[in-house]
Amino acid sequence: MTQISAILPIKTRGRHYADNIGRCDILFASLRHFAAPDLFARFVLVVPHDEVEEIKGYAKAWSDFPIEVVDESLHMGVFAEFSQRHQIRNWHRQQIIKLYAPALIDTEYFLVFDPDCFATHPFSADTLIVDGKALTHYMPRTADVPGYWEASARLLGIDDPHLERDGIWMTPAILSRTLCLNLQRRPEAVNGQEWRRVLLSHYMIDWTEYTLYWLNAEREGLQDQYHTGPAHGQRALHADQSVWLAEQMQAWDAARHFAPDSDGLFAVVQSNTHISPQQVARKLAPYFPIEIQPYERHIDWALKAAELYSAVTRRGLKLLRRLRGL
């Protein structure tokens, strides 16, 4: 039987992480209902060192999956080298963890999750891996932030990010272990440093994991060897409507995702909207069983203030760079 792996970085402390356990309960409830049995060879949760034991306790609710809780500090000691407040971008660090997945898995393909995703229709390995290629959600690059593609192209030494083309879309996504390993070698070749240090040192520009991954696959001419869109009549990886902004929630019609003629296997209620998991669960409960376990909400106002300070400082530094023409 063909299997794939999955990777899910989890934090429960910070600006919009306090409800991530509840979001994970929704994600795993949806996978329990819709994913084929024994689909996952390994389901890796990567967790900050000071949250490992706590997450292990919560992860008992998901033990019907092949869960492995990995201590981030055992693999990401490099993060400590970039510890000044304005250098700490949790957004970038989680992206690095996703690209690091080949060190934690054995299968060629792996699903990348965030806690705010959920499945909407049955799927198996044959659904996700089509003729040996990963089912991929393509979107125009201009539908994303063009600056992401431009920043990633600069890091990879690519002159033209080809904004007129389609590219891979956001999480959830299916990535190739081979293409991730190829990508890791490229920043080292261009910049002369280990790939994670290259990415971390460029915290002032908005590279992303998927734009890096896709641009390098294109550079090598390998994207079509490892990725494909849905065949005729097959559902896409993403639903055509997710909740990306808080104001979209009131009008959001969850029933659309589960209708027989709906087009996507996964949807998202983005965590930075601060929409509670309990509110999401009420919308989704008619379509699959959901039980949100009791969890502690870590609201650390000092940490939130520090993260806000970091973001404001980076914006100021970016503005200064633009004024200097850098």
Q: What is the pLDDT of residues 84-136, one digit of tens each?
A: 877 878 889 999 999 999 999 999 999 999 999 999 999 999 999 999 999 99
Task: Report residue 227 as tokens.
Answer: 């990725």
pLDDT of residue 195: 97
Helices 177-191 & 209-220 angle (0-180, nearest 10): 90
Task: State which residues of the chain have pLDDT below 70.
Answer: 1, 300-326
Question: What count of other Cβ atoms lies within 10 Å of the Cβ of residue 191?
Answer: 17
CA separation, residue 17 to residues 169, 298, 304 (Å): 23, 8, 10
Q: Which two tokens stand for residue 98?
A: 């996703």
pLDDT of residue 85: 74
* The predicted structure's pLDDT at residue 86: 77
Q: According to the model, what pLDDT value does residue 214 have?
A: 98
- Which amino acid, 181? L
**Cβ-contact 290, 23 below 8 angstroms:** no
According to the model, what pLDDT value does residue 276 have? 95
Cα diameter, the chain: 57
Residue 288: count of CB within 10 angstroms of its CB: 17
284 — alpha (psi -120 to 50), left (phi > 0) or beta?
Answer: alpha
- Tell me the domains of the chain and their CATH numbers: 4-323 (3.90.550.10)
Find tokens 């200097």 and name the residue: 324
Buried b (16+ CB within 10 A) or exposed e, 235-250: bbbbbebbbeeeeeee
Burial 255-270 (b: 16+ CB within 10 A, else e): ebbbeeebbbbbbbbb
Cα–Cα distance for residue pair 251/176, rounded to 1 Å = 36
pLDDT score for 309: 58
